[in-house]
């Protein structure tokens, strides 16, 4: 019997009714109501070293990495919420221990900045005692490796699509979270190869039920999606 494919809400569940803003506290709350595996969100660091939840480099035309938090927080999200800090976001995540928190750490401009953001993120996860509820993803191989250096038991998946399952295992990572085209078109053998090595298989951003079916038929472990409510019932 095939294992069930698990669903992760991409940037929370924001295509809800009514819709809300991605990476907002409300989008996380919406994901908590779905009974799915996890909810993903993006971590960035402000100029003065504060960790915030936001996908794009810019928040309201201010570059997050070049702006202090006190200035950034004056601009609210589209749904009226304040720009969430990692601490506030994780505290909301703690409200439902069954929903995994999939922490994407965004690449920074230097390896030093990446080390700092990883260190601060891991410290916050430990401080809030969320070690068993968090999993980590990044496009930066350096960030993935830094997380593993600080805490080898943390689950870390690589996003960038350029390493084979064998290479991921050699880098001591736990698996991949790759764009579906990499897995369906470029390297259709990778899902099975990864499973044979005991690696996690995850794919983003699967917003088409047909693509979901294809990946499911290939035995994918997880998909990350903007339509978690729809896919969870398939």
Q: Does 42 bind Mg ion (CB under 5 A)?
A: yes
Choose the stretch contacting Mg ion; rule: CB under 5 A; options: 40-48, 87-95, 125-133, 151-159: 40-48
Measured between alpha carbons, how far is 203 from 213 in angstroms, rounded to an integer?
Answer: 12
Q: Does 177 bind Mg ion (CB under 5 A)?
A: no
Q: Does 114 bind Mg ion (CB under 5 A)?
A: no
Choose the stretch contacting Mg ion; rule: CB under 5 A; options: 1-9, 103-111, 140-148, 155-163: 103-111
Of 211, 215, 173, nearest to 190 by C-alpha is 215
- Cis status, amide bond into 44, omega within 30 of 0: no
Q: Which is nearer to Mg ion, 42 or 114 (CB)?
A: 42
Choose the stretch contacting Mg ion; rule: CB under 5 A; options: 64-72, 78-86, 101-109, 124-132: 101-109
Q: Tell me the longest C-alpha to C-alpha distance in the chain.
A: 54
Question: How distant, in Å, are the alpha carbons of 88, 189, 227 from that of 96?
Answer: 14, 36, 20
Nearest distance from C-beta of residue 170 to Mg ion, angstroms: 25
- Say if CB 50 and CB 89 are below 8 A apart: no
- Say if CB 185 and CB 178 are below 8 A apart: no
Q: Which is nearer to Mg ion, 42 or 174 (CB)?
A: 42
Q: Which of 7, 51, 103, 104 binds Mg ion (CB under 5 A)?
A: 104
**Binding site residues, Mg ion, CB under 5 A:** 42, 104
């Amino acid at each position: 019997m095939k294992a069930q494919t698990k669903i992760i809400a991409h940037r929370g569940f924001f295509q809800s009714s009514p819709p809300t803003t991605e990476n907002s506290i409300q989008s996380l709350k919406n994901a908590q109501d779905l009974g799915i595996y996890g909810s993903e969100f993006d971590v960035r660091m402000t100029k003065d070293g504060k960790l915030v939840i936001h996908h794009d480099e810019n928040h309201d035309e201010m570059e997050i990495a070049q702006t202090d938090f006190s200035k950034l927080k004056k601009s609210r999200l589209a749904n009226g919420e304040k720009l969430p800090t990692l601490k506030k976001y994780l505290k909301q995540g703690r409200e439902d221990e069954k929903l995994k928190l999939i922490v994407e750490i965004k690449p920074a401009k230097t390896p030093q900045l990446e080390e700092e953001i990883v260190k601060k993120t891991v410290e916050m996860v430990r401080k809030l005692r969320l070690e068993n509820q968090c999993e980590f993803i990044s496009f930066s191989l350096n960030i993935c490796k830094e997380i593993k250096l600080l805490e080898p038991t943390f689950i870390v998946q690589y996003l960038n699509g350029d390493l084979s399952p064998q290479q991921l295992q050699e880098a001591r990572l736990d698996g991949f979270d790759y764009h579906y085209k990499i897995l369906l078109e470029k390297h259709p053998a990778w899902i099975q190869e990864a499973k044979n090595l005991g690696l996690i298989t995850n794919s983003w951003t699967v917003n088409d039920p047909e693509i979901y079916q294809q990946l499911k038929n290939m035995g994918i472990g997880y998909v990350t999606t903007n339509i978690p409510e729809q896919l969870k019932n398939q």
